[in-house]
Structures are given as C-alpha cells and as structure tokens.
Chains A and B, each alone.
Chain A
Amino acid sequence: MNGTALKSICRARWARLFAVALVIATALLVKLLVVYQVPNDGLTALSSAAEQGQLSTGRFRPIQVIPAQPPMTDAPVVSAAEIGGRVKGRELVLGVVVNGKARAYPINMLTGPRREIINDTLGGQPIAATW
C-alpha cells in the first residue's frame, strides 16, 4: 500500500470518528432524567404511546453510532459520609426514593456511554437509573 493510499485511509477514519463524536455529543444534548422501575417478574401490558397516536417522531429507525455497551450492574454504592468531598455540593445528581430508601446518582460519574444506564436495586426494587 503506498503512502498516498495510506494517507487517504487515515483521513477517512478520522472523519468517521469525528462524525461519531459529533453525534454522541449531540445525543448528550437530548438527555432526560428518568429512573425506570424495572419489572422483576412478567411484564404488564401497558398502552403503547405509538398506539395512542402520541408518537410523531416517525418510524423507529435507530442508527448504530458506537458499539453496544455491556450493562452496568452491581454498581458500588456508599453512604454520604463515605463519599465525602468526592461529590461537590453544586454538582447535579439524579435522586430517587424507593420504599423509603434514598439514593443519588451523580451525573459527573455517568458520562461516557456505558454509564448512561445504571441497573440497581433500591428498597428491594430493581430499577434502572438513566439520563
């Protein structure tokens, strides 16, 4: 492979990486702050937003932009005393209370694609914290 061909391959790869980075950066702009209750037995059939005519975003046509990430499970949690100054007062957290148990998920620990969904159990309930 000659030098010119090698150069153009490298340029193309960087262009693709840049495009992917852009898409991810844009994706980070459409965050919602939601904690989902994950069913631990069968699923209840609930009404579909699409069937209710709410969905006007068009057909479901997802685009693969990065490789699929392994799930985050068994994420360590500590008490507020133990976290100490590792989380600053002005930093944003996603906070939830389930069956009387409170937990905070600091957003500054959740950037980077794999961490956008944290599978957890709180107050005996399986949940997924995601933003």
Chain B
Amino acid sequence: MTLSVSGMLWNRSLVMKDSETGSLWSHLLGEAMSGSLRGQTLDALPAEMTTWSAWLRQHPETTVLSISRTARQFTRDVYRRPSDFVFGWLVDGRAYSASLDVLAQTPLLNVTRGESALLICYDTESTAARLFSRKLKERTLTLIDDQPGLMRDKQTGSLWNRDSGTAVSGPLEGERLQQQVGIMSFARAWKLFHPKSESVNRSNAGGQSATKSKKSRGDS
C-alpha cells in the first residue's frame, strides 16, 4: 500500500490517502475513516523521536533518509515548553498519556493499569521517550535508576540498557524488554482524539497496586 498526503485535514490533523483504493486514513488514529477500507487500521511500529546524535550513537549502522533540507527549526529545542507535549499510548483501546514535564522529572515511570505493566523511559538529553513492557516471561519487573544510561530491576538486580531495553549484566543478562508503541504528541492533539485519555504521573502511575502496597505493607 502506498500512502500519500490527501491535502485534507480532519480536526486539524493530517488525513492520508492510499493509492490503491483512495481510502482516507486518519494519521493520528491510523484508521481508514472512509472508502472501501473503512474500519481497517494500520499496525504502528515502535519508533522514536530523538536527536540525530543519540540515534547514531545507539545505531551506528543506521541508514538515513537523504533528501533536501526544507527546515531548520526541528531540533530538541522544539520541546522547550515540555507541558505542551505528552507521550501517549493505548492499552486495550484505552488511552493514557504522561506529560513531558512529568517525564522530565521522572524519567523512569513504572505504570500499572489492570493487567498491563509498562515502563516509560525518557531520555532528558535526546528527548526520546520509549515504552517497554515490564513483563518478562513469568516476572513483572520494576525498573529503577542506576548509572547513566542504565536501569536496574528490583526483582533480580540485573542492569539494563535504557536505550535498547536489553539486560547487560546480572541474572537476566541478554533478556530484552518488549518495546511497544508510544507516541509523542502535542497535548492538545492527543486530548482532541482521545478525550477520555487518563493522565499518568508519579503519584498515580502505580494504579491500584500502589495503593494496595501502602495498606498491606507486604509488597516489595
């Protein structure tokens, strides 16, 4: 399928078109809104907005798009007002977001909602935000700060690379946290398309289990 810019906006957001059927797709939702493919959704891949220097350092073998430059202003300075931005994600169709100023204060945010256990890992230098699942086989891990670029899980003490989610030492060395789709968005746009989105911050990130562990004192 070949996607193109339809020239249309919906709620001030890009509408894509596929060349094969002419169906119109909401860029924000990844869903065909009209045409013969109406109702179909595209699979989003985990990707990140980051600085070129950070990406190159993490992926020295990377290739890079090479067309003419059309702008100069899209550097990490775009995020100079972090409260204008959120990192958003969906779990079972429910939307959640964390404000960029929350992430700047809490670069590792362990989030629990129902059955899902996720980690938002924010890099204050590159402004990249990543979403990982904290579930690894039978375990649910809790990740905490360690040396720069590294995090440690409380369950085994293994050290993990924060960029790749790969354990570099300890009992879980070699394991990898599954990366999931999270999207950096203007806060207003996210709210417009996901008005029921729940704002996650440090005090509510743990969800029910955080409250329970305070009362029961048994949880680690």
Residues on A close to B: CB < 8 A? Answer: 23, 26-27, 29-40, 43-52, 54-58, 60-73, 75-80, 82-83, 86-98, 101-119, 126-131
A27 and B45 within 8 A (CB): no
Q: Are B1 and A126 in contact (CB under 8 A)?
A: yes
Q: Which listed residue (B27, B49, B59, B196) contacts A102, Cβ 8 A?
A: B59
Q: Are B195 and A117 in contact (CB under 8 A)?
A: no
A94's partner among B19, B34, B49, B196 (CB-CB below 8 A) is B49
**Chain A CB within 8 A of B28 CB:** yes
Main secondary structure of the interface of A (DSSP, over half): mixed
Contact B63 A36 (CB under 8 A): no
A108 touches B71 (CB 8 A): yes
Are A80 and B40 touching (Cβ within 8 A)? no
Which residues, 92 to 116 on B, are CB-close (under 8 Å) to A?
93-95
B7 touches A64 (CB 8 A): yes
- Contact: B13 with A27, CB < 8 Å? yes
- Cβ of A51 and Cβ of B39 under 8 Å apart? yes
Cβ of B28 and Cβ of A30 under 8 Å apart?
yes
The reply to whether B51 and A130 form a contact with Cβ atoms under 8 Å apart is no
Whether the Cβ atoms of B16 and A92 lie closer than 8 Å is no
Q: How far is the CB of B194 from chain A (nearest CB, A)?
A: 7
The answer to whether B210 has its CB under 8 Å from any CB of chain A is no
Q: How far is the CB of B6 from chain A (nearest CB, A)?
A: 5
Tell me whether B64 and A80 are in contact (CB under 8 A): yes
Any A CB within 8 A of the CB of B24? yes
A68 with B44: CB separation less than 8 A: no
Do A78 and B5 have beta carbons less than 8 Å apart?
A: no
Cβ of B62 < 8 Å from any Cβ of A?
Answer: yes
Q: Which of B65, B77, B185 contacts A118 (CB 8 A)?
A: B65
Q: How far is the CB of A49 from chain B (nearest CB, A)?
A: 5
| A57–B52 touching, CB < 8 Å | no
Q: For B7, give its contact among A65, A91, A96 (CB under 8 Å).
A: A65
Interface residues on B, range: 35 or more
Q: Mark B33-46, 1 if CB is under 8 A from A, else 0.
A: 11001011111111
Q: How far is the CB of B63 from chain A (nearest CB, A)?
A: 4
- A50-B2 Cα distance, complex, nearest whole Å: 23
B143 to chain A, nearest CB (A): 21
From the candidates A69, A105, A113, name the one contacting B65 in the complex (CB within 8 A): A105
Give the residues in chain A near B2, CB-CB below 8 Å: 71, 73, 119
Using CB atoms, name the residue of chain B closest to A89: B53
The answer for the CA separation of A66 and B14 in the assembled complex, in Å, is 11
Q: Hey, which chain B residues are within 8 Å of A129, CB to CB? A: 47, 65
Known: A35-B44, A109-B69. A95 touches B24 (CB 8 A): no
B69 touches which one: A101, A108, A131 (CB < 8 A)?
A108
Chain A residue contacts of B30, Cβ below 8 A? 34, 36
Query: Closest CB of chain B to A40's CB: distance in Å?
Result: 8
- In the complex, 12 of the A-B residue pairs with CB atoms within 8 angstroms, ordered by the A residue number, are A49-B29, A52-B93, A60-B24, A63-B8, A63-B10, A67-B7, A71-B4, A79-B63, A92-B49, A105-B65, A109-B67, A113-B5
CB atoms of A90 and B186 under 8 A apart: no
In angstroms, how far is the closest chain B Cβ from the Cβ of A92?
A: 5
Given A57-B192, A103-B65: A111 and B3 interface contact (C-beta under 8 Å): no
User: What's the nearest-Cβ distance from chain A to residue B10, in Å?
Assistant: 4
Determine the chain B residues whose CB is within 8 A of the CB of A89 once the complex forms: 51-53
